[in-house]
Amino acid sequence: METKVNLAEKFSLFQEHWTPKIVGELNNQQVKLAKLLGEFVWHQHEHEDELFLVVKGTLHIQFRDREVTLQEGEFLIVPKGVEHKPVAPEEVHVLLFEPASTQHTGEVESDLTVKHLERL
């Protein structure tokens, strides 16, 4: 059965940062929501592309040679194998779209790594 998802409602269900929540799945892909604040870790996903869609706020995605700034309503696809670091000077709400196999921090283990994502 089709289920409508209200992003504002789902974002209201959690407060923690850098802890994506699964809100949908299709074709072995997951739709995740996350609140970001501060700096994440440098990481890459060897086999998966990753889409960042900013729902609220401004997100900076750093690459080793440049930085891309995303405003509300903008998205960026980070190709597999590309090292990147998301930075959110103020709280940002993002929708992530990526294969279900994608590990939170790629091969990097850190205090921010989440191994088992909650479903909302």
Distance of CA 90 to the CA centre of its chain: 15
The answer to whether the CB of 57 falls within 8 A of the CB of 91 is yes
CATH of 7-119, picked from 3.40.640.10, 2.60.120.10, 3.40.47.10, 3.30.360.10, is 2.60.120.10
pLDDT at position 110: 55
> Which residues on adjacent β-strands are paired with residue 119?
22
Over the stretch 49-78, which tens digit does the pLDDT of each residue have? Answer: 999 999 999 999 999 999 999 999 999 999
The answer to whether the CB of 52 falls within 8 A of the CB of 45 is no
pLDDT at position 108: 53
The answer to whether the CB of 95 falls within 8 A of the CB of 55 is yes
pTM to 2 decimals?
Answer: 0.84
Mean pLDDT of the chain: 89
> Which residues on adjacent β-strands are paired with residue 84?
43
pLDDT at position 98: 83
Strand 21-26 and strand 118-119: pairing? parallel
Residue in the structure block whose two tokens are 């190709």: 79
Domain residue ranges in the chain: 7-119
The answer to whether the CB of 59 falls within 8 A of the CB of 69 is yes
Residues in the chain: 120
